[in-house]
Amino acid sequence: MSAGFLRPGAEAIAEKGWLLAHKWLILRRASQIGILLLFLVGPWFKWWIVKGNLNYSYTLDFLPLTDAFQFVQLLAARQIPETIAIIGAGLVVLFYWLVGGRTYCSWVCPVNLVTDLANWLRARLGLKGGAHLSRQTRYWIFGMALVATALSGTLVWEMVNPVTLLQRGLIFGMGFAWTVILAVFLFDLFVMRHGWCGHFCPVGVCYSLIGKFSLLRVKLPAREACNDCMDCFAVCPEQQVIRPALKAINGRAPIILDENCTNCGRCIDVCSKNVFRFGARIGAATGAGAVAPLPK
Amino acid sequence: MDNENKLRVKGPGSARRQFPADTARMACGVGLLGLGLSLYARHAKALPPAAIRPPGAIPEAEFSAACIRCGMCVRDCPFDILLLAKPEEPMSTGTPYFVARQAPCEMCEDIPCIKACPTNALDHSLTDITKSKMGLAVLVDQETCLNFLGLRCDICYRVCPVLDKAITLDPQNNLRTGKHTLFIPVVHSEHCTGCGLCEKACPTEIAAIKVFPLYLAKGQLSAHYRLGWVEKEKAGGSLVAPDVEHQYNMPEGMQYEHGKGLSAVPPAPISPVEPVGLPKAFQGGKL
Ligand code: SF4
Ligand code: SF4
Ligand code: SF4
Ligand code: SF4
Ligand code: SF4
């Protein structure tokens, strides 16, 4: 099977053309970099469209947005912020309930640019193997971060959180925060495939919890057309989410309901048979247990 | 296919046997990580001496829990004095501070930094900037303060926005010249806001007056201490029996004088007097 030796997506490029086979990737990068730039043009050119950072921001002097994980950490530390930050948290939860929880990871988080680069390089260099760990580890870290916060009375995770260290660093001054980012990069490159985002990051966990119920999902209306090229598994950062929907395990509906799907759209891009597309969760319940999330 | 998928091909039984060991390992690892982080967090709980929090900052122990590290205060400070702590700085990463010698707080009347804060890290009930307690100025070096040396620098006194209250000039004799006056700057903690304008303005190479976080700058009396003169004022009169002249019990006919020692009492004309030297309380009188 010669196709197995081609790079994932080669078939899709041949079938759909380069642009269509990279559509969601391009949009995603535009979103990640665009959001970063929105924060940066303030300090760079004094165009204050957005003030603050991903923890809390204030856009065009009317729109407050509070990061969900920061908000949960504040609550764990028994701190109730001002009303405006509570409204901001509500808006963020509502937004990610609509567009998918871990959409944050693929479309907003700046660390994703770093870990994606590591993963791309890993594939390019042909690095195989490495450490293995349960993907459930991140839920433990999430719990640990909140317990440690409650016990110590300070936002413990914020001392090492690469997401905020990187974004705040870029906007307000980096200091030695780059060392943490470099560590994440090297870890993902040499030690563990999809290491940080796939196994450790509690920010992603927090958004995945919102994503349990979210509306926008990847659907597989043409799953019968799948020719088992495995390209979607090869590119998906959370490949365990695909199988139940693609292979109709336990009669599952053709929709990815796992909360850890990041809605990155890589599977849509890479599939030459156009199996995947984005769609709403509503009306997708054709099979039993379609709406219930996967049991762990 | 990558290993992860291979694992999944195994029967559910082996995965289940694997489960308790894996979980225990993970719980231990993550628990250790949590412990390490909590210990590491402790060093970040006190503020380094040169770092001053923005006006209205709640006590340090709570501040690092309440602040969402957004930098809104930094953005809305018109004088751009605030910085967010970098990871290598010995305080809670991402929290705001300023360094008075570099850029002091100009004490904006409308306190935009507090208004911008989306949390209670900066106390929104503070509306009068002169009531803020960012820190406390301390004249740390009497050997280099120009006024202590007998010159009339007075700069800290003059730049202080709480003029004549937070810093006063206390005239003292200049013992070196014997005929001039020293104007000693004295900081009064009930009025000093800790803005740091004095530290910034002090013309010596290294400031003789410095602003420190309150926990460093301020002492505290033990709870049981009472200041006699304060209590007296509160009570509207003395609370103790008035002092009486000290009495020595000498051998009859002798007296004692400091420096001279014992001597015979010189004979004195005898006159009828009231008994002296007994406290009033023992004289049947009232306090
Ligand atoms: S898992 Fe964490 S680091 Fe990775 S993209 Fe999501 S939020 Fe960012
Ligand atoms: S299933 Fe598709 S959209 Fe979801 S994470 Fe995997 S590649 Fe991305
Ligand atoms: S009072 Fe004014 S100068 Fe001082 S920190 Fe706040 S905004 Fe900045
Ligand atoms: S505005 Fe408030 S929450 Fe934000 S960094 Fe400043 S003190 Fe912290
Ligand atoms: S400004 Fe400095 S040198 Fe001048 S009086 Fe004040 S403390 Fe002394």
Query: Is residue A170 domain-shared with residue A124, that is, in the same domain?
Result: yes
Location of structure tokens 């609509």 = A98
Smallest Cα distance from B180 to chain A, Å: 51
Quote the pTM value. Answer: 0.82
In the chain, the amino acid numbered A44 is W
A155 with B31: Cβ contact below 8 A: no
Q: Is residue A65 part of a domain?
A: yes
What is the model's pLDDT at position B17?
Answer: 56
Among all bound ligands, the one having the nearest atom to the CA of B156 is 5
Nearest to A137 among B5, B30, B94 (CB): B30
Instruction: Judge if A167 and A89 occupy the same domain.
Output: yes
How far off is chain B from A73, nearest CA to CA, in Å? 9
Tell me what pLDDT residue B228 has. Answer: 87
B153 lines ligand 5 (CB under 6 A): yes
Between B209 and B229, the higher pLDDT residue: B209
Query: Do A75 and A109 belong to one domain?
Result: yes
B87 touches chain A (CB under 8 A): yes
CB pair distance less than 8 Å for B65 and A239: no
Mean local confidence (pLDDT), B161-179? 92
Same domain, A96 and A193: yes
Q: Which residues of A touch B7 (CB under 8 A)?
A: 132
Is the Cβ atom of A218 under 6 angstroms away from ligand 2? yes
Looking at A209, A231, A265, which one is the last position of a domain?
A209
All residues at 6 or more sequence positions from A120 whose CB lies less than 8 Å from its CB, including other chains:
none
Domain with A229, as residue range(s), is 10-18+218-291
A34 alpha carbon to ligand 3 midpoint, in Å? 31
Does any domain span residue A233?
yes
**Residue A212, both tokens:** 């349990």
Residue B285 has pLDDT above 80, yes or no: no
- Interchain proximity B33–A137, CB inside 8 Å: no
Intra-chain end-to-end CA distance of chain B, in Å: 99
Nearest CA residue ID for atom 7, ligand 2: A236
The reply to whether A108 and A238 lie within a common domain is: no
Check pLDDT > 60 for residue B5. Answer: no
User: Rounded mean pLDDT of chain A?
Assistant: 88
Q: What is the pLDDT of residues A160-215, one digit of tens each?
A: 999 999 999 999 999 999 999 999 999 999 998 899 999 999 999 999 999 888 89
Residue A279 in 3-state DSSP?
strand
Query: Per-residue pLDDT for A293 more than 50?
Result: no
Q: Are residues A145 and A55 in the same domain?
A: yes
Both tokens assigned to B277: 């030297």
Q: Say if residues B100 and B53 touch (Cβ distance below 8 Å).
A: no
Confidence of residue A6 (pLDDT cuts 50, 70, 90): low
pLDDT at A294: 45
Closest chain B residue to the Cα of A129, Cα to Cα? B3
Best probe residue, ligand 1, of A138, A188, A201 (max atoms within 8 Å of C-beta): A201
Residue B245's pLDDT is what?
67
Q: Check whether residue A185 and residue A227 sit in a common domain.
A: no
Residue ranges in A46-134 assigned as alpha helix (H): 68-76, 83-99, 103-107, 111-124
| Residue B278 confidence (pLDDT) above 70 | no
Exposed/middle/buried for B42, CB within 10 Å: 0-12, 13-18, 19+?
Answer: exposed
Identify the H or E element spanning A211: helix A202-211
Is residue A23, in this structure, part of any structural domain at all?
no
Number of domains in chain A: 2
Quick one: A170 and A244 in the same domain?
no
Range of lowest pLDDT (A59-68, B222-231, B253-262)? B253-262
Is A296 domain-assigned?
A: no
A61 lies in the same domain as A201: yes
Burial classification of residue A147, based on how many CB atoms lie within 10 Å of its CB (0-12 exposed, 13-18 middle, 19 or more buried): middle
Is A25 within the bounds of a domain? no
Single out the residue in A175, A209, A243 at which a domain terminates. Answer: A209
State the complex-level ipTM: 0.86
The pLDDT tens digits for B84-121 are: 999 888 888 999 999 999 999 999 999 999 999 999 99
Q: Which residue lies with its CA nearest to atom 7 of ligand 3?
A: B77
Measure A162 CA to ligand 5 centroid, in angstroms.
44
Phi and psi of B120, rounded to 5°? -95, 20
Does residue A245 have its Cβ closer than 6 Å to ligand 2? Answer: no
* Contact at CB, A42 and B75, closer than 8 angstroms: yes
pLDDT by residue (tens digit) across A90-142? 999 999 999 988 999 999 999 999 999 999 999 889 888 778 888 888 999 99
Q: What distances in angstroms separate CA A110 from CA A115, A155, B177, one per listed residue?
A: 9, 21, 67
Residue A172 has its nearest CB partner, among B3, B71, B119, at B71
Is the pLDDT at A289 greater than 70? The verdict is no
* Cα B145 to ligand 5 centroid, rounded to whole Å: 5
Which residues, in sequence order, are bridge partners of residue B183? B171
- Indicate whether A90 belongs to any domain: yes
- Domain presence at residue A78: yes
**Sign of the CA dihedral with B211 first, then B214, B216, and B221 last:** positive
pLDDT class of A24 with cuts at 50, 70, 90: very high
pLDDT value of position A154: 87
List CB contacts of B135: < 8 A, sequence separation 6 or more.
Answer: B52, B53, B100, B194, B196, B211, B212, B213, B214, B217
User: Is the pLDDT confidence value at B282 over 60?
Assistant: no
Q: Which ranges in chain B belong to alpha helices (H)? A: 3-9, 12-43, 60-66, 72-76, 112-116, 155-159, 197-201, 214-217, 228-235
Cβ contact A203:A69 at 8 Å: yes
Q: CA of A171: which chain B residue's CA is closest? A: B71
Q: Bigger pLDDT: A31 or A283?
A: A31
- The whole-angstrom separation of Cα B275 and Cα B281 is 13
Q: With bands split at pLDDT 50, 70 and 90, how would you rate the model's confidence at B271?
A: low
How far, in Å, CA of B147 to CA of B201, rounded? 14
* pLDDT at residue A284 in the model: 47
Is residue B287 over pLDDT 80?
Answer: no
Is A30 part of any domain?
A: no
Are A106 and A233 in the same domain?
Answer: no
Considering the domain architecture, whether residues A78 and A154 belong to the same structural domain is answered as: yes
Averaged pLDDT, B234-259: 76
| Pair A189, A247 in one domain | no
pLDDT the model gives residue B13: 46
List the single residue in B4, B65, B124 with the smallest CB-CB distance to A82: B124
The domain boundary, picked from A209, A232, A259, lies at: A209
Is the C-beta atom of B68 inside 6 A of ligand 4? yes
- Which residue among B37, B72, B120 sits closest to A156, beta carbon to beta carbon? B37
What's the pLDDT at A94? 94
Say yes or no: B125 contacts chain A, CB-CB below 8 A.
Answer: no
Residues 6+ apart with CB under 8 A from B21: none
